[in-house]
Homo-oligomer: A and B are copies of this chain.
Amino acid sequence: MRPRLKDVAELAGVSIKTVSNVVNDYPHVSDETRARVEAAIAELSYRPNLSARSLRAGRSGVVALAVPDLDNPYFAELATNVIEAADRRGWTVLIDQTQGDRAKERVVISGIRDHLIDGLLFSPLALTAKDLAGRDEGTPMVLLGERIGTGRSPYDHVGIDNVAAARAATLHLAERGRRRIAAIGVQRTAVAVTGRLRLKGYQQALAEAGVPADPSLVAPVARWGRADGAEAMSRLLDSGAPDAVFCFNDVLALGALRTLLKRGYEVPGDVMVMGFDDIEDGRFATPTLSTVAPDKALIAQSAVDLLAERLSGGTDKAHEVCVPHRLAFRESTDLPGKGHSRTLN
């Protein structure tokens, strides 16, 4: 069917290995032989069989990226960055969606596909430290997002300082004079680490700003989707009358924004809205969405670099990379009369 080294070799009148040497650019091949082989390769339009190569080499050139859900623009943007960074190293990316489901996340780390992939970039949501500990260390794995568990993990990790970021975001709202600052995004599940860290930053900021913490202003959600944000905002408006809301990610914030506008509130006048992630949607919402902007390109690049280092057998101790973030102040937290809502990007 498809041409193999053998077919090329026969056509060129050389041995299989010589063709292999040409394909792999080995030095000691005479110009004349090389030309003949290349002609044969072109004529048959030969392409190496990657399965055979990876069987032989023990490497496939494929890495897996496991994320909860590509529908969430944050993960879509992250995936884009990862694919680009992997591309620069000649790797191909295979994508798994876990839906943040613990069973699926376990499958991802179970190593079922370890022989197909050289490494794993994993952004877990529901996984526990125990799940992780049970993994037999086969293919290298780099964790994205939250650290799991409190102890030392044998895995490389890339994340941001969620507490500091959430604290800064909340402080920003307090500095603009808001006193009833709500939070949307805590989850009731035991494993929602990210949410807890952002809540912690939120609480720290309130204490620091001397704003009394009102538990009724903390709105739990089941998941981090637009509908959840919209629904949580609705509950907050019915009960707590906030004058600002810090949402633990941007899609929650866009959902909350939708509810506010639909119910006739002015944003930022009546209620300021702050998000987290800096997805593109937020930059084109009306009002544009203030947010915490993690350096997604750097997260992806760092993760790929860490994986590469581990693949080349480099380090033994686990690396911790904390990627910087910045705050993007846009219209949704703009003070009236300052008149620069349109100049901020």
Q: Which A residues fall within an 8 A CB radius of B?
A: 2, 45, 47-52, 54-55, 60, 62, 69-71, 73, 76-77, 79-80, 83-84, 92-97, 111-116, 136, 138, 226, 230, 254-255, 257-258, 261-262, 280-281, 283-286, 288, 342
Whether the pair A55, B47 counts as a contact (CB closer than 8 A) is no
- Known A-B contacts A93-B94, A285-B258; A71 and B280 likewise in contact (beta carbons under 8 Å): yes
Whether the pair B79, A95 counts as a contact (CB closer than 8 A) is yes
Find A47's partner among B111, B283, B288 (CB 8 Å cutoff): B111
- Known A-B contacts A70-B79, A116-B50; A226 and B284 likewise in contact (beta carbons under 8 Å): yes
Whether the pair B281, A257 counts as a contact (CB closer than 8 A) is no
How many protomers of this protein does the assembly include?
A: 2
CB distance from A334 to the nearest CB of B (A): 13
CB distance from A123 to the nearest CB of B (A): 15
| Set of chain B residues within 8 Å of A111, measured between Cβ atoms | 45, 47
Closest to A112 in B: B47
Closest to A69 in B: B80
CB distance from A119 to the nearest CB of B (A): 14
Closest to A94 in B: B94
CA distance A84 to B7 in the complex (A): 39
CA distance A79 to B73 in the complex (A): 12
| Set of chain B residues within 8 Å of A114, measured between Cβ atoms | 2, 47
| Set of chain B residues within 8 Å of A262, measured between Cβ atoms | 286, 342
Closest 5 pairs between A and B when the two form their complex, measured CB to CB: A49-B115, A76-B76, A261-B286, A50-B116, A51-B55
Most interface-central of A77, A83, A285 (chain B CB within 10 A): A285
Closest to A83 in B: B97
| Set of chain B residues within 8 Å of A254, measured between Cβ atoms | 281, 284
Find A92's partner among B71, B77, B94 (CB 8 Å cutoff): B94
- Known A-B contacts A230-B284, A258-B285; A94 and B51 likewise in contact (beta carbons under 8 Å): no
Find A50's partner among B71, B113, B258, B285 (CB 8 Å cutoff): B113
| Set of chain B residues within 8 Å of A2, measured between Cβ atoms | 114-115, 138
CA distance A226 to B286 in the complex (A): 13
CA distance A150 to B249 in the complex (A): 46
CB distance from A118 to the nearest CB of B (A): 11
CA distance A342 to B264 in the complex (A): 13
CB distance from A227 to the nearest CB of B (A): 8
CA distance A115 to B55 in the complex (A): 13
Closest to A57 in B: B51
- 10 inter-chain pairs at a CB distance below 8 angstroms, sorted by A residue, are A49-B115, A52-B115, A69-B80, A76-B76, A83-B95, A84-B97, A93-B94, A94-B95, A230-B284, A258-B286
| Set of chain B residues within 8 Å of A48, measured between Cβ atoms | 115
| Set of chain B residues within 8 Å of A93, measured between Cβ atoms | 94-95
CB distance from A251 to the nearest CB of B (A): 8
Find A60's partner among B51, B255, B284, B285 (CB 8 Å cutoff): B51
Find A94's partner among B62, B73, B80 (CB 8 Å cutoff): B62
